[in-house]
A and B are shown apart, each in its own frame.
Chain A
């Protein structure tokens, strides 16, 4: 029982942690690009990004399911590096698609909140455009950390997509949220509540650690 629980917690952290890393790696540069660059179609793409922020996870799950299923467009290709359905990799893919628009959208808002003259000043001190972008990102770090926290919140609480593409297979793809659904359905409320408490504790500790990333700016 204990080792089963450990497996579930470990897999939850692995899936959501990796998906958070992936969505941060995609979302932060994308948010910076949308926030700092002016290009044709920016409004339309921003509207699409914001739509992605509110996309129902279960629809993303369905989309990834169809994409990866044997008869789907990617499933037919049979490429070794493509994740298979009912594996943690498929769950990570679905969760990344769910979270990266959120990270990108909040990052965009954060960098747009930095006084544009800061970027001008930094360039006027001899920064390259890349150095200027990184400086603006650091100036916006309170907001950028909130972007990561929002992404993590959506991932760790997510159940529909991981259920669909993971299948809630015991010992292989069962995570905290899907285990809670299962235990509740089976009437094991004590266990379901205990799992819920573990989930909340993980969320709290992670957010507490992430706030530390905001550094002294958080206290100002």
Chain B
């Protein structure tokens, strides 16, 4: 258990240690130690190209780290050691672009449940579509939706399988303020109602401030500072954090 500013955080769900990721001799990620706790909204902020999305792909077990490991739910993910399917399925991810399949909205949301051979799909999909406010579009072809609607379908599709962890990779980067606010409300609800751990990657510090319980700044693949949201924004320890928050950072 860990207490930050009065809020009680659960046990760590992820423990990352000595993690590195290199693409063609270019080291894009180097994280010595990081813990993400059950049930929290953890936000990773940083400029484009800082390694945020790479980190998410490692947390989703889609790519192996070169060195180091990710502990998840008692299992170790490292070079050459895949995460077992049943554990991998406890984590889902929403990308910056909605990446919907060329099917109906309903079929898109059902997708993850079908992969898992779930029988109770109808009830869960109905509830999920209700949660994102898109019940009326269930039969519509997914690729005809607006950007905001599509991203809400993408969220419904990721949460319908009731994951332990929901990874969000800049989910509102392409959206207008109204849809940004809708998506943020949904993310908050998912976290509150289902106790889903949320790892959000964004370059938008204001979004981090609105949503996060803890925030980390990543620059050139390295974590510069991790702190609870109030400390991060009001009393950061590293001057680079101050510069990033104030928009004064020169990359």
Contact = CB atoms under 8 A, between A and B. Distances in A.
Interface of A: 115, 117-118, 120-128, 131, 135, 138-139, 216-217, 220
B99 interface: yes
Interface of B: 57, 60, 62, 85, 88-89, 91-93, 95, 97, 99, 101-102, 111-112, 115-116, 141, 143, 157-158, 161, 167
Contacts of B89: 126
Given A117-B99, A121-B93, A139-B101, 13 more contacts: A118-B99, A118-B101, A120-B95, A121-B95, A124-B60, A124-B62, A125-B93, A125-B157, A125-B158, A126-B88, A126-B116, A216-B141, A220-B143
A120 B169 CA distance: 13
A200 to B, nearest CB: 32
Contacts of A126: 85, 88-89, 92, 112, 115-116, 161
B112 A120 contact: no
A111 to B, nearest CB: 14
Contacts of A131: 115
B38 to A, nearest CB: 19
A126 B157 CA distance: 11
A186 to B, nearest CB: 52
A118 to B, nearest CB: 6
27 contacts: A115-B99, A117-B97, A117-B99, A118-B99, A120-B99, A121-B99, A122-B111, A124-B60, A124-B95, A124-B167, A125-B92, A125-B157, A125-B158, A125-B161, A126-B88, A126-B89, A126-B92, A126-B112, A126-B115, A126-B116, A127-B115, A128-B115, A135-B101, A139-B101, A217-B102, A220-B102, A220-B141
B59 to A, nearest CB: 10
Contacts of A217: 102
Nearest to B169: A124
A147 B179 CA distance: 40
- Interchain residue pairs A-B with the least CB separation, the first 7: A126-B89, A124-B93, A121-B99, A125-B112, A124-B60, A127-B115, A126-B115
B55 to A, nearest CB: 14
Contacts of A127: 115
B15 to A, nearest CB: 21
Contacts of A124: 60, 62, 91-93, 95, 167
Contacts of A123: 62
Nearest to A132: B115
A216 B140 CA distance: 12
A95 B62 CA distance: 41
Contacts of A115: 99
A39 B95 CA distance: 27
B141 to A, nearest CB: 7
A213 to B, nearest CB: 14
Contacts of B97: 117
Contacts of A120: 57, 62, 95, 99
Contact of B95 (A117, A128, A220): A117
B143 A125 contact: no
- A117, A120, A220: which has the most chain B beta carbons within 10 Å? A120
Nearest to A117: B99
Contacts of B101: 118, 122, 135, 138-139
Contacts of A117: 95, 97, 99
B198 to A, nearest CB: 15
